[in-house]
Amino acid sequence: MKPSIRAGFVGLATLLACTPAYSLGDTIKTAIDATFAPHAMPTLDGKIEGFNVDMANLIGERLGKKVDLTGAQFSGLIPALQAGTYDFLVAPVTVNKERAANLLFTEGFMDTNFGFVVPANAPEYKTLEDFKGKTIAVNKGSAYDSFLREKEKEFGWKVESYGTNTDAVAAVIAGRADANLAGNTAAAWAVKKNPRLKLSFEYETGLVWALSFRKGDETNRDLVDRAMECLKLDGSMAKLSVKWFGVTPEAGTTIVTPTKGFGTPGFDGYKDDDHKASCDNLK
């Protein structure tokens, strides 16, 4: 192949990789890990339900489109997105520098913090220091396990790891542990299902969950971003939080507060502009 022709193909490939193949059609194709309760989980009749499932359907409603939601293993979601199988991912994905280099994110739809779960009759824990001398149960190998072990000497707690977070929660219920540490939504879900537990201290990570698009698909990302802002403004996100987590969001938190511009501030792909968050002209 002549160099000029080869260069032409390379240039075309680069252009195609950086340009959205199409605008969103009448049906949005999206996907999620259907085993991540309470964001998505299977029902007895073979469907999927959860916080992110409801959010995806509401985004479709605001945009006047149907939603075709597929449940798949998380490890296969991003490769399938990049291959064009889905328009975007409604799965919760934590925005960080590495991921933002390869994906285009919306604004955050929720803060992804660490939540402590304790017995309902336990005292109030307001800082990490309050857990000194306490036994904390955690899912083995998780980010929460790593966090606890990294800070074990600093804060003087004891870490007990379990094969699943369900087992770690059971240790708290049985009195074998003083607390469980998990993601804030998993913690809220555990408490919602068991009145013998309550939410305790929440450790703020400064990170958010957002929806993922292919690089170069700013047009569709911005459209879905605007729909998400609408859901924050009209109270829909707050209602979903109460429904699935049993938690009324505090004013100013990510789940109820539109973010300036499009995307996640501080990360690649963020577009700073002065558009006004609104529910108008979405369809």
Tens digits of per-residue pLDDT, 101-120? 999 999 999 999 999 999 99
User: Residue 83 and residue 81: Cα distance in Å, rounded?
Assistant: 5
- Say whether pLDDT at 61 is over 80: yes
Question: Do the two domains 3-111+207-256 and 114-203 of this chain adopt the same fold?
Answer: yes
Structure tokens belonging to residue 84: 């064009």
Q: Report pLDDT for 23.
A: 76
Architecture of domain 114-203: 3-Layer(aba) Sandwich (3.40)
3-state secondary structure of 76: helix
Domain boundaries in the chain?
A: 3-111+207-256, 114-203
Q: Report pLDDT for 22.
A: 56
Q: Report pLDDT for 18.
A: 46
* Dihedral of the alpha carbons of 36, 39, 42, 48, in degrees to the nearest 10: -140
φ, ψ of residue 92 to 5 degrees: the values are: -65, 120
* Residue pLDDT, tens place only, 84-106: 999 999 999 999 999 999 999 99
In the chain, the percentage of residues whose pLDDT exceeds 90 is 88
Structure tokens belonging to residue 219: 């047009």
DSSP assignment, residue 131? G
pTM of the model: 0.84
- Say whether pLDDT at 5 is over 80: no
Cβ pair 28, 67 in contact under 8 A: yes
Structure tokens belonging to residue 29: 């194709």
User: Strands 88-94, 114-119: parallel, antiparallel or unpaired by DSSP?
Assistant: unpaired
Pick 3-111+207-256's CATH classification: 3.40.47.10, 1.10.10.10, 3.40.50.10330, 3.40.190.10.
3.40.190.10
* Residue pLDDT, tens place only, 166-203: 999 999 999 999 999 999 999 999 999 999 999 999 99
- Cis-peptide into 38, omega within 30 deg: yes
* Residue pLDDT, tens place only, 17-58: 444 445 799 999 999 999 899 999 999 999 999 999 999 999
**Mean pLDDT across the chain, nearest whole number?**
92
